[in-house]
Amino acid sequence: MPIRLNENAEVVAMIKQGLKEKNGYCPCRREQIEDNKCICKEFREQMADPDFEGYCHCMLYYKSKE
């Protein structure tokens, strides 16, 4: 289950800045709740899903199947 950062360094810098401004909460979501703290619940579940391949909601991370 390899996880990597987006290959676009500008996207990574932008999302990381957003995370900083939101104190670690997902910059792509409005609600500042525990589930939306990076790494958010949605992506944790996607990481655990053997059939999932793709970016997290914000496109900071990419998960490959193998």
Choose which of 48, 56, 62, 66 interacts with ligand SF4 (CB under 6 A): 56
Residue closer to ligand SF4 by CB (options 5, 51) is 5
C-alpha torsion sign, points 39, 45, 50, 51:
negative
How many helices and strands (H and E) does the chain possess? Answer: 2, 3
Choose which of 14, 39, 47, 62 interacts with ligand SF4 (CB under 6 A): 39
Q: How far apart are CA 30 and CA 53, in angstroms?
A: 25
Choose which of 9, 43, 47, 66 interacts with ligand SF4 (CB under 6 A): 43
Residue 58 found at the interface with ligand SF4 (CB under 6 A): yes
* Shortest spacing between CB 61 and ligand SF4, in angstroms: 5
Q: How many residues make up the chain in this entry?
A: 66
